[in-house]
Each structure stands twice: as C-alpha cells, then as structure tokens.
Structure 1
C-alpha cells in the first residue's frame, strides 16, 4: 500500500472524527466546542494515533479534544499553494467585494480526482460539522459567526491565501473582514438545506413519537398500583414469617412441630417473599425503562420543534410545502425496535401478573 501524503492523512483524521460525531451527536452540544481549548496535547495524541492507524479508545477524548484535533490537523497541512489559480481567484473575489458564494464556488471548482477531490472532502466535512454544531447553538453557544472565527484562520492558512497587502494589518483585516464572513456564509448556506429536513422530520416523526410516549405513560399508570400491591403482599408475608420465627425460637412446640416449622414452613415463607421481591424488582426495572422512554421523547419533541424553530428564525420564513419538495433526511429517529419491545413488555407483564397467592396457597 502506497504511503499516505499529508492531505490523505488529514482527510482520514477528518473522516474518523466526523464519524464519531455522527455516532454521538450529543457531543456537539458541548458548551463552547471548537472555541475552548482542550488543554495539553491530548488532541495531538489523537491526531497521531489516527494517522498511525492505531485503534482509538474514543472514551479517552473529550468533545474539546475532537474539535481541537480537527483545527490542529488543518493548521499542519498546506492543501494548496498560494500560486494555485483557484486560490488566487478566491482571494481576488474576496478583496473585490464580490464574495457572495465565493467559498462554496471555490470548493466546487476543485477537480474530482487525486488530491483536489480529497481537499474538497476535507473542506466539506469542516462545513458539515460546523452546520451540525450551529444547529445546537442554544446549548453550545456556537453560532455560524463564532464557528467562522474559529475555522477562518485555519482555512486561510491551509489554502495559502495571501492578501494583496503583505503587512500584519492587511493580513488581520483580510482574515476578519473577508475570510471569516465568507466561511460564515458557507456555513449558513449549509444550514439552509437543513430547514426542509427538519420540517420533514417533525412531520413524519411526531405522530410515532407521541404514540410511543402515550404507551410509556400508560405502562407507568399500571406499574404504580401493581408495585404497591406487591409491597403490601410482601409486608404481610414478612409479618407472618416473623411470627413463625418467633414461635420457633420461643414457642412451646414438640420436636416434630419445630422440625416442620424450621424445614418446611419458614423456608416456604422465605421463598414466597423472594418471589415477590423479584416481581417487584422486575416492575421497578420496567417502570424505570418507560420513564426513560418518556424523558427521551420529551427531549426529542424539544429537539425537533426547537431545531426547526431556530433554523427558520435564523434563515427567514420558508414555505413548508416548498421546503418539503427538496427534503432529504439527515436526522434519523428509529422506531424499528418498538414492536419487539412491546412483545417483550407483554410477556413480562404476563409473568408479573401471576398472582402471588399461588405461593401462599402452598403454605
């Protein structure tokens, strides 16, 4: 296998970290992600481990480590030289003030073979992660502008973008007033595509989510009295057990009566109590599981409606019909296991509803 060059290694780092963010989208909710430093060199270790094809224990890295690893990697590579005609054209567009869509046009101008294709992939992953981060700005406080301030200098450096003026003041002006706004515009353009996706998600998901939520609520209403009844039965058996144990210890009984009490009656009570306790524990587990389902769907409702409202608010009103015409799902909410869980739930309920009196009848 041919040795990887710097661009291929950079792409692999971006793909690996992006895959982890996709698998754990909650990480992008982290306050100040991409803005706050991870501290130390943990993010550098992560980059080196990925580049050296080592197995990654992702639990060892925080969201800040992942974000800083992406920025660090981009700053370490030169994707294109300053002499590249497309880089020069991008700089000229930005400096001329004719910069609308300039950064996205630049990415689209890259060839679809060799390193150019890989450069486009790197930049598109950066924009895609930024878009998904900006969606959660209510939690992470990272707006498209904040993300552009983070990514702008790294993108400028990796693309060898040099302003006409060579002094420090000209470079700072170029970054803050031309590069960063172009990156911000590109992130917002990506967000515009998410609006129809969120609208579609809300339309096709809320009904299923509501049904599952109601099912969990009904289960909890059944569980509460059932658990209380089991507790009362257990208390009765505990009292009876205490009486028989006292009789064994202090009662005036024949040897045969003591033997029967010790070897038959008391063990039967203990076994019945243990059975009740297991049933009660099962109900507790089911109650907690359904409470978790309820809580999860409450958060899902907030996510769906909140994301849609925030995006529409950021990008202006759009017709739902118009948006849905071009909808392409990004978020996926799976209810594939719902039927299997309901079947399991029915089986467990059938077991739990076997009357404890069967145990007492044996006594």
Structure 2
C-alpha cells in the first residue's frame, strides 16, 4: 500500500512538474522562481510556507538550498548524478554558457562515461533516468521535507535561509585540516582578508571555489588574489545576492589522501563602513581547526566583541553580557582572534562586535 501523505504535505505531482520546469534550459535560479519563469514554478513557491517576513528572493534561495540538500541525500548514484547535472551541481563544473541547455549537461555526463563524442542520442539514457526515476523520487522526498519545514509557522525553513553570500553547495571531495583567516580594517572600513588553508583530499580535486563578500556592500568590486600554490582560473562570477566567486586552481590534481596548502587574499574595495560581523561558512566537508582573526584599527577598537557558531545567519545577534564565555578581549592595538574546532559543513563561524 502507498503511504498516506502527512498533513500539510504538498503534492508530489505538483513538485515534480516544478522540478521539470526548473531544470529546463539554463537550469534553476532565484530569478526563475521569483518571476515565475518555467512550468510549475508558481506551485513550488506556494508550497513553501516560509516566515511571512521573508522576501521572495529569500524564499526562492531557501527553496533552492533545500532542493540541493535533498539531491545530496539521493542514494541511487545514477539518479543522483543525473539530477546534479540537471541542477548544475557542482556550480563550477557547469558554469560556462555551453551548459545553458539541459541536454548539453547530460551530454557532458555521457562524454565522461564513454570517453567518446557525446551527442543528443548519448544523453537519452540520462533523460530516461530523470523522467522515470530521479525526478519522481526527488519530488516525493521534497514533499515530505516541505511538510516538515512548513510546520510551526515555517520555522524549519530558517535552516536554509541565506542572509549573506548565497552559494549552492559544491560538495567538492575535500575537507580542511586547518583554516586561518585575518580581516584587516582602516577606521571602521574593512580593507581585506587573508586566507590560509590546509586541505585533505577525499577524492581527485584540482581547484577550490573562493567566495568574496563585503559585509555591508554586496555590490562591492571585490578581488580574489592568489598568494600561494593556486592561481585564478578564468573570470569572476557574480553571485545571486551579491559578492563574487573565483576558481582557484591548484598546481596539480590532488590524489585521494593528499594534503595541500594554499592561500589567497580578498580585497573588498569599498568605502562603506563594515557591518559589525565577519564570518566563514564551511564549504568543505568539514574543517578541523578554524582560526578567525581581526586586526581592527587602533583608533576604532570595538566596545565589545564576541564569537559565534550558528546554522542560520540571523541567529546570534543578541549582545552577550559582560563576562559571558563568548566575549573576547580586544588588545589595545586592535587585535583579536578565536579558534573553533570540529566545524561542520554549512555552519557559520565568526566574530561580531559593537562599535
């Protein structure tokens, strides 16, 4: 017997139609959902009962993040691979304009499998996987997940909210044994950050997708500058809610079990005062040790500074009382740091302060 839908569970059939509409042509995007482009997109937006205070863009971004998480949980590797290509995951693999066609993305899989020239006929088997198995199974999983997230006035959706630079999970096969970052200020203006990373490769990998974002000016002309054992590969890409991403290619393709060090800087290039937060979202599978440092201007030292570790960026804004364990002492020269351990994928770690 088929299981009965839970109360408030969206129709899997409607969600499947929406998924088919989302992946057509250039694939899913915040714009396509907000502007109701493609078949079924209105239905998927209506199915998500996010908090009423959210904008349409925030709602669409959370939906895409939820879909990406559900895809990651698909157990059949054939369905998962087919669906990842349909949704342009990982983003950097399918970033080029040549992949603005669903058939082209599936042809690329066929080329990888067969090591031969892949044409539309070669992509037919992936079209079959998607139509007959992957799309229906993903839709059923999403129907259940949407019902869970819609409970309690949509509070569950906050897990997928992205207030900062939004970026689809790439799930590159790497983790970081150590990440160190230093943010530097002139007055109350953020100038640059320096990132040093020691990674461990869980599979063949030859690049890292670095994200540049300034905390009060998402349209800032940020630059990502390689410093050691990497080089910028191609042009920057602009992210849906501001900020940029740049692919940093390593000196060689890493093998399973290989360790590698690289570093880069992000120049913010903005005259605006920095919003009082700096953070790092774990985009590797995990980070064992993360050290976040800030070098404030000695003439503009914060009144109070504390560290945070959250799953949702909107959490943690309450100023802790003096003497709380998370409050940090800022040196008279403006320097402060905090070390985090066992950092998990998708969580955010950083510093906040009051001027």
The TM-score by the shorter chain falls in which range?
A: under 0.3
TM-score by length of 2: 0.22
User: Which protein shows a greater Rg?
Assistant: 1
Structure with greater proportional helix content: 1
Structure with greater proportional strand content: 2
**Which has the higher relative contact order, 1 or 2, with Cα contacts under 8 A spaced 6 or more apart?**
1
TM-score by length of 1: 0.22
